[in-house]
Structure formats: structure tokens, C-alpha cells
Structure 1
Amino acid sequence: MSLLGQSAPDFTLPSTLGEPITLSSYRGQKHVVLVFYPLDFSPVCSMQLPEYSGRQDDFADADTVVLGVNRDSVYTHQAWAAEYGIDVPLLADLNLAVARAYGVALDERGISGRAVFLIDKGGVVQFEHVEEKTGDYTVRPADVLDRVATLR
């Protein structure tokens, strides 16, 4: 199921910012990169999200916000973010409803797959990449920044 060229499914989820984040609140203001990842504290995720966090200034310069999404709780997200120096907001999709809406829920495993969605300021999905295996990490922050640059 591809969402490319379609309106991104809206959602509101609890976040590490202490208040819920609603995707549509960015419409008309910021591009949004949704980074779905399987689990906090897992090896590949513990490389991926710090890399996105380390490029946060570059994303901000491109009018883009990065949001990490998985099924872990806000409390787990906060502990992981503190340990790994992750500054991007992490959202708690506890029942995988948002992962299902984006077609990346792995219900049999109780996690989401690893995927990246780039949503433009109009709320339309302009890029999507779903990794074949949860241990794969082929689309890096630099690749996404290149995609964002085409939206200007």
C-alpha cells in the first residue's frame, strides 16, 4: 500500500515533549519526516534516531521537523532519548494504530517496521521508503534532506 501523492493520515500521539503532537498542526508551516522504527534501545534504532537528531539543525533550516514513531511508551522514549542524546520528538504509538494507517505495522511481532515518510507542508506524502527487514537502515538523514530540498 503506497501513500505516495496522497494526504498523509492524520494522528495525535503522546510525545517526549510532554504534550501530544498532531500531524496536521504542521500543515502550512513545516514539512514533516516521520521515522517509524521498531524498538527503543535496539541496535539499529540506537544508530538511526541519533543520526536524525544530529542533523536536526539541517532539517530545521529546511523548514522540516523530524518525528520518531514506535510502539514504546513515552517513559521508555524519554529514558532512551536521555541515554542516546536524542533531541527529536519521539511519539508513542502504543497500539500501532498510526503504523497501521501508514501500512508499516508488523502486528505478528507487535512492532512497526522501519520506514521513512516525507510529508510536505500541504500534508501530502512526497516520499516513502519501507525497509525490507527491520534490521536494514538504507535511507539516511542526508538522503531525506536531499528529498526535502526538492520541495522548495
Structure 2
Amino acid sequence: MSNAAADGEHAMPKVGDPAPEFTLHSTPDQWVTLSELSGHPVILAFYPADWSPVCGDELALFNEVLPEFRRYDAELMGISVDGVWCHAAFARERKLHFPLLADFEPKGAVSRRYGAYRFHEGTSERALFVIDRAGRIAWHYLSPVGINPGADGVLTALEHLSKPGRD
């Protein structure tokens, strides 16, 4: 067994694969389960940490583009290994209008299933996934951790899903 496999590392799911199921805290007393969003495209935005400059810029951009995402009936979820209270403070400060999910305990378990965990830092990668209405990976992108990937790829993937015969 390789060291990566021993550490619980998973490969990033491929386009067409079923999206790995999860249930994560969105608030101290509320949970989000991926399968409950079935019937809607879902955008998962994995990011390293609340309060970091690039993450703040990326999530602020997604917040601004949220009406465009919703035009495609898409649900946006931010995911990092920060705790639910940290997410609550960050979302309030940044006036975010989408849930931040706490992949806190066991730390990074969902990030690992999506191949989006940085083992050396103990944080999530900066990775984007678009999941189709049937729960399959439709598109994904792994960005260098220090670069805001923007929203163009997500919007292109959502536009592709909205064409007849797709999804």
C-alpha cells in the first residue's frame, strides 16, 4: 500500500462518476446532505480556509455571481475544514448568501473523498465541482491554492448542463 493510500488519499472523481455522498454541518444545528439536493445542479467550492485573502476573494466573487448560478437552478456550497462557528463568523462578515459546510470532524473526510485534501497542510484544496441533477460529476477543476479560479468554468459547465439532452 502506498503512503498516499495509507493516509486515506482518494483520487479526484472523474466526470461521469457519481458524486461522493456526504452530510456536513451548515450551522451548529443544521446539516446539508448532498442527496437532498438531487434534481438541482450543485456547485461544490472546496477552499483552504476562512479568513485567508484568496479564499475571501473567491467566495466574495461567487456571492456576486450567485444570481447567475441560481438562473441555472444551481445550489452553491462552500466547503473547508474550518469549524461551523468560524464559518458562521466569516459568512456574516462577508455577507455570504450561500452555505459554508464544515468538513471539520473527521477532519477533511469529504475533501478526501473528492480528492481535494492537502495532507501536508491539513486543509482543503482549491477545487470546484459541478454536479448534475442526477448526482454525477459534470465538471471539476483543481486550481493552484494561491489563485482564485473565478467563476467562468462553473458558468460554462452550468450552461452545458442546461442544453437539451444533457444532465
TM-score by length of 2: 0.85
Counterpart of 2:80 in structure 1 is 70
Separation (CA, whole Å) in 2 of partners of 1:32 and 1:81: 19
Displacement of 1:107: 1.7
Separation (CA, whole Å) in 1 of partners of 2:12 and 2:78: 20
Separation (CA, whole Å) in 1 of partners of 2:153 and 2:125: 19
Given residue 23 of structure 1, which amino acid in structure 2 is its aligned partner? Answer: L
Displacement of 1:121: 0.4
Separation (CA, whole Å) in 2 of partners of 1:47 and 1:22: 26
| Larger Rg belongs to | 2
Counterpart of 2:154 in structure 1 is 144
Displacement of 1:102: 0.3
Separation (CA, whole Å) in 2 of partners of 1:16 and 1:33: 19
Q: Is the 8 A contact 2:108 2:123 kept in 1?
A: yes
Counterpart of 1:99 in structure 2 is 111
Counterpart of 1:21 in structure 2 is 32
Given residue 34 of structure 2, which amino acid in structure 1 is its aligned partner? Answer: L
Question: Which of these residues, 63, 67, 72, is aligned with residue 57 of structure 1?
Answer: 67
- Where in structure 2 are there 5+ consecutive unaligned residues? 1-10, 163-167
Given residue 47 of structure 1, which amino acid in structure 2 is its aligned partner? Answer: D
Pairing 1:35-54 to 2, within 5 Å after superposition: 35-54=45-64
Separation (CA, whole Å) in 1 of partners of 2:116 and 2:128: 10
Separation (CA, whole Å) in 2 of partners of 1:101 and 1:137: 22
Separation (CA, whole Å) in 2 of partners of 1:96 and 1:41: 18
Q: Is the 8 A contact 1:52 1:88 kept in 2?
A: no
Displacement of 1:116: 0.1
Separation (CA, whole Å) in 2 of partners of 1:61 and 1:52: 14
Aligned residues: 149
Separation (CA, whole Å) in 2 of partners of 1:48 and 1:102: 19
Displacement of 1:17: 8.5
Q: Secondary structure at the match of 1:136?
A: coil
Counterpart of 1:85 in structure 2 is 95
Given residue 149 of structure 1, which amino acid in structure 2 is its aligned partner? Answer: E
**Identity, % of aligned pairs?**
36
- Report runs of 4+ in structure 1 exceeding 3 Å deviation: none
TM-score by length of 1: 0.93
Displacement of 1:18: 4.7
Q: Is the 8 A contact 1:17 1:89 kept in 2?
A: no
Given residue 34 of structure 1, which amino acid in structure 2 is its aligned partner? Answer: L
Q: Deviations over 1:35-73 (max 9, x none)?
A: 000000000001001111112121111110110000001
